[in-house]
Amino acid sequence: MHRDSGARDRLVQRWSARLALVAGLAAVVILLVFAGIQSIALLGAGLAGLAISGASLWWALTLRGIGRLLAFTLAAVAPLAVLALYAWAELLWVVLVSLALWALGVSVGRAALSRDIEPAGPPELRTAPPERPFLIMNPRSGGGKVGKFHLKEKAEALDADVLLLDTTHQQDVVALADKAVEGGADLLGVAGGDGTQALVAGVAARHGIPFMVISAGTRNHFALDLGLDRDDPSTCLDALTDGVELRVDLGFIGERAFVNNASFGAYAAVVQSPAYRDDKVRTILQMLPDLLTHRRGPRLAVHAVDTAIEGPQAVLVSNNPYGMGDLAGLGHREVLDSGALGVLGVNVDNAAQAAELLAGRHAPGLTSLTAQEVVIDADEPEIEAGVDGEALTLPTPVRCTIHPRALRVRVPRHRPGVPRTRAPMDWRRLRKLALMS
């Protein structure tokens, strides 16, 4: 039965590769047949429109007043002007059909290539259920998911000790977790945001006991990368009775643990503004011109391995590198146990470099690398940072490190799983797959 399933998968993969090649070839042929030599001009006009839009967005973010308005207008008009040019040449339908075929070829081709990628994730270890689990729950997190899914009642029915945070004043979750361990807790868990999870995860790692994630936050990035159900956080409680243990890495910024990432530069400065929570868009538009042009904020310097990034506007240091299967490359992490930090640095000084960012991770203004240690320095004694969504101010230099497999995470044995990694497009590999007998 397994052999038949494998043969069927290979057959589907082979025909998917053939469909992708046919669609990609048809996209080129339809341009050549119906546009002829004009196809080169069409392609050039499209690329020029994208470049103008990218440059205009840079001007829009670095200018104010009438200059910003004109830049936003140009960013919107440029692609419309390209479409109008196609329509004037009576070739708009040719371009649209060609683009649709090309998109089909890329989508089907990446799906075919992705079938060769084994599901990511650290090895699972069957361990005995905890005897005295201690769970911290934030009733306000995720818009009230703790109450909506009756997490406290369901956890207590499974003999867990549950502490509901008092939302009227700030509580020290690290002290609460330490006290629970001193009282005999053999598992720590959190139903809340990634910032709270990171603090308690640090305590669990320090004491060498398992940690449990309950996906009751707003974004649940760590839960996503652990393969947990983010739609129904109550399913995470299954780990208490029918769970497995994963060993994952834990990032540290100084002595503080982080499970996702730490950001520095423009984004970290914006989110620390008191006005950000009440009016995000206005605050961003007011602050970015000075931040992006270095008229405000510290000038950063990043040192990792043998690479130095001088003067980046934004830096992201992540607990394991993010995947490259989406536009920003920040969808999810393919693994959580590589033993390396991911580093992304953005350094854009003018509109031309902003337009080049359309090339993705290959853009000159974007640095992507991995390292075991990253040092962020600045020309000021303190810098702002966003650590798993929490706004902090830290003395420079800031040292980020990773502790390989330091965190024992207990998860349900049956869970949705980590999203499948999407393979990069490779037409040569597709051709080899298509020709396989």
Kindly report, residue by residue over 82-110, the tens digit of the pLDDT.
888 888 888 888 888 989 999 998 888 88
Please determine, for residue 38, whether its predicted confidence score (pLDDT) is greater than 80.
no
Residue 395, number of CB atoms within 10 A of its CB:
10
Selection from 151, 153, 195 nearest residue 170 by Cα: 195
Please determine, for residue 135, whether its predicted confidence score (pLDDT) is greater than 50.
yes
pLDDT of residue 118: 63
What residues contact 34, with CB distance under 8 A and at least 6 apart? 91, 94
CA 282/CA 273 separation, integer angstroms: 11
Full DSSP string of 19-50: HHHHHHHHHHHHHHHHHTTHHHHHHHHHHHHH
Is-contact 134 161, C-beta < 8 A?
Answer: yes
Please determine, for residue 178, whether its predicted confidence score (pLDDT) is greater than 70.
yes
Work out the mean pLDDT of the chain and round it to a whole number: 85
Q: How confident is the model at residue 41 (pLDDT cuts 50, 70, 90)?
A: confident
Query: What backbone phi and psi angles, to 5 degrees, belong to 125?
Result: -125, 125
Give the pair of three-digit tokens for residue 415: 């869970």
Q: How confident is the model at residue 48 (pLDDT cuts 50, 70, 90)?
A: confident
| Lowest-confidence region among 2-16, 182-196, 255-269, 297-311 | 2-16
Q: Tell me the average pLDDT across 341-366.
A: 72
Give the pair of three-digit tokens for residue 122: 């650290």
Q: How confident is the model at residue 137 (pLDDT cuts 50, 70, 90)?
A: very high
CA 101/CA 385 separation, integer angstroms: 44
Q: In Å, what is the CA distance from 48 to each residue of 54, 62, 72, 357? A: 10, 21, 17, 14
pLDDT of residue 306: 84
Kindly state the DSSP code that residue 169 receives in the 8-state scheme.
Answer: S
Please determine, for residue 421, whether its predicted confidence score (pLDDT) is greater than 70.
no
Coil, strand or helix: which one is 214?
Answer: strand
Query: What's the length of the chain?
Result: 437
Strand ranges (DSSP E) for 198-284?
211-214, 243-253, 256-258, 261-265
Is cis: bond before 397, omega within 30 of 0? yes
Q: What is the pTM of this model?
A: 0.81
pLDDT of residue 119: 59
pLDDT of residue 290: 63
Give the pair of three-digit tokens for residue 366: 């974007």
Give the pair of three-digit tokens for residue 182: 């001193």
Residue 7, number of CB atoms within 10 A of its CB:
10
Q: Tell me the average pLDDT across 366-381.
A: 91
CA 306/CA 7 separation, integer angstroms: 46
CA 369/CA 349 separation, integer angstroms: 21
Pairing relationship of beta strands 125-126 and 243-253 according to DSSP bridges: antiparallel
CA 323/CA 360 separation, integer angstroms: 13
Distance of CA 98 to the CA centre of its chain: 31
pLDDT of residue 374: 95
Q: pLDDT digits over 268-325, tens only?
A: 777 666 666 566 667 666 766 666 676 777 889 999 988 888 888 888 899 999 875 5
Residue 161 belongs to what H/E stretch? strand 161-164
Please determine, for residue 4, whether its predicted confidence score (pLDDT) is greater than 60.
no
Is-contact 201 246, C-beta < 8 A?
Answer: no
Distance of CA 432 to the CA centre of its chain: 32
Farthest-apart Cα atoms in the chain, separation: 78
Give the pair of three-digit tokens for residue 174: 């690290």
Q: In Å, what is the CA distance from 345 to each residue of 201, 348, 364, 403? A: 27, 10, 11, 22
Q: pLDDT digits over 400-414, tens only?
A: 999 999 999 999 999
Q: pLDDT digits over 62-87, tens only?
A: 888 898 889 889 888 988 888 888 88
Residue 63, number of CB atoms within 10 A of its CB:
16
Amino acid at the residue 237: L
Q: pLDDT digits over 219-257, tens only?
A: 888 999 998 999 999 999 999 999 999 999 999 999 999
Amino acid at the residue 256: R
pLDDT of residue 412: 94
Q: How confident is the model at residue 147 (pLDDT cuts 50, 70, 90)?
A: very high
Q: Tell me the average pLDDT across 116-131.
A: 79
| Lowest-confidence region among 31-35, 41-45, 218-222, 291-295 | 291-295
CA 149/CA 248 separation, integer angstroms: 27
pLDDT of residue 205: 96
Coil, strand or helix: which one is 250?
Answer: strand
CA 306/CA 337 separation, integer angstroms: 23
- In terms of DSSP H, where are the helices of 208-340? 221-225, 266-271, 280-292
| Lowest-confidence region among 47-51, 75-79, 295-299, 378-382 | 295-299
Q: In Å, what is the CA distance from 73 to each residue of 81, 84, 166? A: 12, 16, 48
